[in-house]
Each structure stands twice: as C-alpha cells, then as structure tokens.
A and B are shown apart, each in its own frame.
Chain A
Amino acid sequence: MTIALKHPFGIRFKLVFLSSFLLVIPWLGYRYILEMEDYLRRGQEQVVLGTARALATALNERPELFDEGTFGPTRRSENLYVYPIYYALGLDDNTLNDWGDYQRYELSYGRANTIATPLNPQSEFSRYYHNDESLNFKLLVGEHNRFLYAYINVVDNQLVYRSPDSVSIHRSDFLQISMTAPDGELMRYVVSPRGPEFIYAYEIGSDLRDIGSLRHEERIVGQWYENLDGYTIELRMPLTMLGSSLGFAVYDVDDPATRNVTAVVATSNVNDIERLGALQRPTPEIDKIVEGMGYTDSRIQVVDRTRRVLLSVGDIQNATGLSLTLPEDAEDGNRYLRILEDRVLHPIYYQILTKPSNDFIDELYVGSRLEGAHLSSALGGVAQTQFRTINEDQTRILEAAYPIYADGEIMGAVVVDQNMNGLRTFRNQAMETLFNTILGVMLLVAFGLFFFASRISTRIRALRNQAENIIDDNGRLKNTIIATTSSDEIGDLSRSFYNMVERLGQYTSYLENMSSRLSHELRTPVTVVRSSLENLGMVSQDKESSVYIQRAEEGISRLNLILTNMSEATRLEQMLQTSEKEKIDLVKVLAGCVEGYRLAYPDAVIDSDLEGCVMINGVPEYIAQLMDKLIANAVEFSYDKKPITVFCRAIKDRAVVRVTNYGPYLPEKMKGRLFDSMISVRPQEKQREPHLGMGLHIARLVAEFHQGQIRADNIKEYEGVAITLVIPMLD
C-alpha cells in the first residue's frame, strides 16, 4: 500500500480561496459609493452656486443696499448699530472674550447720555434724577444667526442687589430694556438680579412699581456678573422679538439702606416710544431678501467690494446642505446587533472612514472681512465654487461666491457656504450599510462554501475509505461500497464504484468457485469413464487388457481425488456457514491431534509444546481439520529426523498456535499468497501426489471462521518455516 500524499490544499481551502474573489464585490460597492458621493458633491456644488446666483440676482441693480453711509456704524447715541457677528457667542463664561475683535466697536455711555428728563413724569423717581459721574457703561450690540446679542459693561462703585425678600424690582441696580415689538408696540423689560446670576427678565406694565403687572420674559437670556469696576450683563434675544427700536437704561442705586435710584444712564429715552433709539441693523433689506429665500441649510453671507461682511445668516457648523433624518431604530432593532455594530464594527470602519465633526472653527474669518479665492474670483466677476478643508482633513467646506452687479459694476458678492459633513455622514452611513451587508453576505457565503466543501470532501473521503476497505491486504474483496442515492457526481461516482465492485465481486466469486464448479462438471464424465471401465473390467477376462483397465482405474481414482480436493474448500465454506461454535479448550484439542499425528506419521518427529488451558469459541472438528493441513504441510516439507513442533499458548487475550518445521525457506514473494486458493510452492520432485494448494487455503478459511489470522514466516534462527495461527480467546 502506498501512502497517498496528503494534498496540502484540500477542496475546502481551494473553494474558500476562490470565493475570496468575491471580495471584489465590496470593493465595487465601495467604488460605487465614492462615485455617488462625487456626483452628490457636484450636485451640492450646483445647488450652492444656484443659491448664490439666485440671491445675487435678487440683489442686483440695487446699489443703495451697499451704500456705505446708510448702513455704517453711526455715532448718534440714541440709535443702536447691530454688528453682524460671524460666530456663535457664549453667554456663560463670565468674560467678554468671545466677542473678540468686535469689542473695539463698543460704545460708551456716561454722563453725556444721562437722561436728564424724568423717565416717567408720574413716577416718584422724577425728583431723584441727578448726575452721577461714577455711573457709565459700555455697550455692544451684535447679531448672530437670527439672535441679537448685547453686552453692557457697567462701571458702578456701589453694587446694590435686590434684597432676597424683596418683590419689587426697582429698589436696586437694574437694567431696563425697551424695544418696539414687530407690531410697533413699546415693550419694556427689567433685569433686576438678587446677585450675580443668570438673568431673569420681567416684562413690565405701564408702571414698573406695579408688581402685579410683572411677567417673566423667557426669550431674553443671559448672565449678570460682577467685575472689578462694577458688573457686566451679557444677554441674547431672538430678532423676532424686535421691531425697529431698541434702548437700554441702567438704573443705579447706591445706598442699600434707602434704596433710591440715584442715577440713570440710558441709550435713549427708554420710556417714550417716539424717542426710543432706532435699531440699526446693517442690511435689513438684504436680510429681508435673504430671508425671502427661506434657505437655512447654508450659511449665506453678503459681502461688499471691500470684502466686509454685510450680512451673515446661518452658521457653517449646521449648514450641512444635505439634511439627514436618521432612522431612530435603536429601540426596534436587535439590541445585541446594535451593540455589536457600535462596539466592534464601527471602531473598525472608522479606522478607514473619517467621521466629520461639527465642532470645527472656521478660521477663515478674521474680523469681519472675508477671504478666499472664490470671493476674489467673484469680486472679479466670475462665479466660483471651491472646497476648503479645515480641521485636519476632517471637514470640507463647499463655498460658492457669486457677484452682485449694479450699473454694470460689481457691488459685492453673495457667498454661500455649506460644509460637506452631511454628505460625508451620508457616505459613511452608506458605507456602514454596505460593509454590514457585505460582512453578513461574506460570512454567509464563506460558511456556506465551507460547509459545502466540507460536505463534499467528507463524502469523497468516505468514498475513498470505502474504496480502500474493499480489498484486503491479500487482494481479496471483503467489503462492498454502499451506493448512495444522491444524484450528483459524487453519488454517480459512488454508484459506478458500487457497480465496479459488484462486477469484480462476481468475477472473484466466479474464480473462487471455479474449482468447485469445475470439479462438479468434471465428475460426470469421470463417472462415465469409470463406470465404463468397471463394466469393461467385469466383461473382459483378458489378462492383458485387465492390466490396462487397472491402470486406467488408478488414473481415474487420482483424477477423482483431485476433483474432491478441488471442491473441498467450497464444501467447507458451505459447512462453515451452518456451523455453530462451542466453548473448547484448544490445548486439549491440539493434544489429541498430536497424538493422532504421531500414529498417522510414524516417520516424523512431532513435539508438542502445549501449556495451560486456552479456551476459545470454536468448532473442534474444524480446528482439527486445520491442524491436519498444517501438519501434513509440515511433514511434507520437513527435513528428515528433524522435529516438527506444535506450540500453543495464551498470549494476552489471544490464543497463539504455531507449527514449526525444519525445512526449506518459503520464497519471499509467495509468503503473502500462500494461503490463497490453488497456490502451491512445492518443487516438482515433491509432486508425488496431486496437489492443488488447497490445504493452506482451507486452513485460512477455518482461521477466518474463528475470527483469527494465519500467517507463514521463515524462521531466522534455523532454516525452517513457522505457520502461526492467532485466534481471539474467550473472555
């Protein structure tokens, strides 16, 4: 048997390897998504540019909008100029840092701005008005993202807060905010804290002493905090609250005992709707137009020729362009799947993908002037879009600038910005879905293929094992193949193997039975000849012819013996099938046999080496028959006067019987086939009697009937042959 070289790469490995080409599919998906992102980006570019064009068109031919004088910061103290601010302001940081550069636009209000007239002729305050040099404040009003921001930095030598149990709001330092509502009505609010705190604004009625008419206005938010010289108020209110006028008044109470207002500094007469200062927003017209566009998903800026930003709507952080509504399926979806996705998959994915953050700072805008190639191009008359990457590659901003013309002159430009985070997020989601799907499909396919390949290789291996087990070491058929019913090629192979083995089996059994059949067929003509000869012998009295008749009869007898021997094995096999085993002591049987052989072969020296009690399950007659054959064989080949030894022992759980004789060695190549039918190694001169080589074949049949094995070996120590029979013992 040659040991088949194990292939290092089995079917399983090959299939899995081939299936790895499926990885092209996720790559194609990845390419597709990138392509789509590109298209979407171009689309976004066009949309942004379109927005800019539309706005620019609306602003065309209106040079007055860009008139420096109309909208510039004014020195008139009653009116408040609202600066556009380009970044979000924080109200909760106790400092004015985030106002940054704008702080240089703050205006001071002091003695000159003290309202000399009684705030309210009917009020009791009227008699207290006098100037107080110590009270003054600096004010800055800005606008960002549809909110009005303001800070008031008050210098006050004596801070007097509302006492904790006081309900009235006018017996401490307080701030009054007056404005006209969009419907033109005068609205007055008071911020009168009990200490440095987040401001709590009250809307007041006609008399601020009337506690009953106080109503909390929650749209005004901000903080009151102290500083070295006095206090600062930062506040914010939505622009929708505001009409055309706005004014602030700071009331000062210096004596905590009397708690009378000693000074008031105001931006204008905050109690008179006619004299309330105007709210000057830089570009109300443009604002309206932009508002009219109703576009909030971008940051829109209008820039004049000097690149000064006249208007900025929207903030770039939220201008994602694409609005994405994420399906909130966290509750519906499988929790474990989501955990898997969040904990395992996403960290892997985001090794490759960049997650855009909205926490970027647009550094392009220093001060209130806008930079950039797109703007330069637009101011040069050519609309342009550009992508800008900020925040270390994480965020891309799409910017489009479109020129505004008036009288054939470029008056300014509309700049529309969008960050690409929306698109990026969209892409990432698509990628996640793609990766998840691909991962699932790949796992499924891989497992499927692996299972399939395992199944196939298992089946093939099973078939191979069956095929290897068909023929034993002596080349005899011992098993058949179980034909499978599966209809595929392996099933086909198995069936054709089965057919092959069947045919081979038929042929083998034909060969094995040939001697028996032959003897059977020959018997009839032999009988014809013999009976004829016998008849002849009875009839003929001739002496000469009777000699020939006798010779012929001898020949016939020999022929008969041959025929009988030929069918002996078959007969034995048939008998073995119906025999029942019994419990026998092998040593006793062998001892009897040896006694018999000593009588039967008086010339031979037969030694016995039998010990103990070796119980086996067997048929003593057949064991004796086997021994007959072995002894006959040994006697035949033994050198004269050399002993033949019969040995029997229980070795482990097996009975070992060995018959050894001095005699010529067996030819090496015959050793394995010695026990096959019709194999004889006798030299020609030994052929005194007909020999068909059935003896050892019968011995093997008997050995196999007892689940034993028989083998022949040459003896190393001396020239001789040992035939060993091993039979399993009874428990």
Chain B
Amino acid sequence: MARRIAIVEDEAAIRENYADVLRKQGYDVQTFANRREAMRAFDLRLPNLAIIDIGLENEIDGGFALCQSLRSMSETLPIIFLTARDNDFDTVSGLRMGADDYLTKDISLPHLSARIAALFRRQDALNQPTSPENLLQREKLVLDIGRLTIQWDGHAVPLTVTEFWMVHALVKFPGHVKSRQVLMQESKIFVDGSTITSHVKRIRKKFMQVAPEFDCIETVYGMGYRWNTQMIGGGDVGIDGSMASDAGGGDGGGGGD
C-alpha cells in the first residue's frame, strides 16, 4: 500500500508541484491549505509523513501549532517543516516542536524526495534488526546508515536527517577538513555558511547532552570542520544521556496534552 504523505501549504502552486512530484514517486498525497482542514483530516486518519509550512494563511505560526498537535497524536510520525523562513530562531523552534527535519524552500525537489525516502527508510529500519554492513564505527561513535541513527557509547543521539548526513560526511574521513560547501552538498540542503555553522553547533550540543566531554567536531577557521578521532576525555558517559535523548521528541509530546 502506498505511503500517505500530507502536505500542508497555503501556496497552491508550490503545494501542487510538490504533490505532483511525490505522487509520481508513488506516494499517496493529501494536500491542505490550512491548519483547520489538515486537523480535520488528521483526526480521521493520520498520514505516514507530514510536510508542513510554518506560515499558514492567516496563522503566522500555524505550522508550529499543527506540528505540536500531530506530535501529540503520534510519537513516531515523521514531520518535515518546509518553509521560506531560514532564520536560526525558527529552525530551532521547529526542531524543538518535534519535527524530524527543517528544510527551507530552497531545497530542490530531488533532494526533498531523497529526504522523504530517508525518513521512511529510517522508520522502517527501526522495526528491523540492524544489518552489520550498514554500520560505521568510529571509536565510541556508531552510525547506522540504514536506519539513519547514531549512537555514542551505546546511547542514541537524536539527530535529524540533515544532521545525520552532516555527521556522516565528517565521519567518513576522520581528520579531513570538510568545508561548509561540502557539508551542504552532503546533507542535500542549500543554505548559506552561517546556517551550516548553527547546524554544527546544534549537533555538538546534542552530542554533549549524551557525553558532556564531547569535542570530536573541530572547527578549522576559514576552512570548515573535521572529525577529530583523538578523544581526550573519553571514559564514562553520563546517565543523563537517556534524559537528553528524548528531549528532542519529548517536548512535542508533552505540549500536545
């Protein structure tokens, strides 16, 4: 059975363009212009994946509210923000609401569909045993390329797909400097340098919530970033790892109640 994707977007042309592309790829696509319509449909039946714009008709932050509601209905439903707003503040807000990814409308359609596919794959993979050929291990770091998950010293690090791909790009060749441009290409987004910087910051924070002494991602000023294999601290991982790991999704679930 085809997977159902809901697109909530007030701009009809964009909405239909996205819908057309996704339909061609075999997805079952529902489109909604505003939060009210979307919620009515979601109350009846949840989609398998939701693509939400933040500004919906006259609701400036309608997307955020919709995301919260959806997250309260389902913990696992993949939610993607697709918006014209490219500032840090909205990105952080969106991800804290429990979205799995935050994309700007600069993204090209192939990249978008790749991302959707990745999210579905990750969802599917969660229910299946990990295949060893998909694992990439660097000391304490374990990347499951199939499921798009990362573990640090046995604790899951809740990264979005974009972040996962960035870490993946860094980890593939430890010690190699990856410029922002490269990271952008690898994570299939198209933003400016400072957005990469804030992404990297966010990744570091997520790792540090699991392991406070984490400093494997090194900034090479003027060039980019590299994965540093020499762990200075190492050793024990704090018990707050589990608490931090649901921080990403926990907020959304709590807020919907």
Contacts and interface: CB of A to CB of B under 8 A. Distances in A.
Interface of A: 520, 523-524, 526-528, 530-532, 534-535, 538, 560, 564-565, 567-568, 570-572, 574-575, 578, 589-590, 592-597, 599-600, 620-621, 623-625, 627-628, 631
A535 B109 contact: yes
Nearest to B181: A600
Given A528-B17, A531-B18, A538-B24, A564 B221 contact: no
A571 B87 contact: yes
Contacts of B86: 564, 567, 571
B27 to A, nearest CB: 14
Contacts of B177: 596
B224 interface: yes
A719 B212 CA distance: 52
Interface in B216-250: 219-224
Given A524-B11, A592-B222, A621-B219, A531 B17 contact: yes
A524 B85 CA distance: 10
Chain B at the A interface: SS class? mixed
A209 B108 CA distance: 157
Interface in B176-228: 177, 179, 190-195, 197-198, 219-224
B21 interface: yes
Given A564-B86, A564-B106, A593-B222, 10 more contacts: A531-B17, A531-B18, A564-B192, A567-B86, A600-B179, A600-B222, A621-B197, A621-B219, A624-B221, A631-B222
B194 A575 contact: yes
Nearest to B92: A578
B193 A628 contact: yes
Contact of A527 (B14, B110, B195, B219): B14
Contacts of B224: 596
Interface bracket on B: 35 or more
10 contacts: A523-B84, A528-B17, A534-B109, A535-B109, A560-B190, A568-B192, A592-B223, A595-B222, A600-B222, A621-B219
Given A531-B17, A574-B89, A595 B223 contact: yes
A526 B190 CA distance: 14
B194 A594 contact: no
A597 B177 CA distance: 13
Contacts of A594: 222
A378 B12 CA distance: 129
A530 B108 contact: yes
B20 interface: yes
Contact of A534 (B21, B192, B197, B221): B21
Nearest to A536: B17
Given A564-B106, A565-B192, A628-B193, A574 B88 contact: yes
A599 B86 CA distance: 29
Contacts of B179: 600
B178 to A, nearest CB: 12
Contacts of B24: 538
A302 to B, nearest CB: 118
Contact of A592 (B190, B192, B193, B221): B221
B13 interface: yes
B105 interface: yes
- Of the candidates A531, A589, A592, the one having the most CB atoms from chain B within 10 angstroms of its own CB is A531
Nearest to A631: B222
A247 B77 CA distance: 152
Interface string B14-51: 10011011001000000000000000000000000000
Contacts of A623: 221
A565 B190 CA distance: 12
B222 A624 contact: yes
A595 B220 CA distance: 9
A594 B21 CA distance: 44
Given A568-B194, A571-B86, A620 B219 contact: yes
B223 A531 contact: no
- Of the candidates B13, B84, B104, the one having the most CB atoms from chain A within 10 angstroms of its own CB is B84
B192 A520 contact: no
Nearest to B200: A621
- Of the candidates A575, A578, A625, A628, the one having the most CB atoms from chain B within 10 angstroms of its own CB is A575
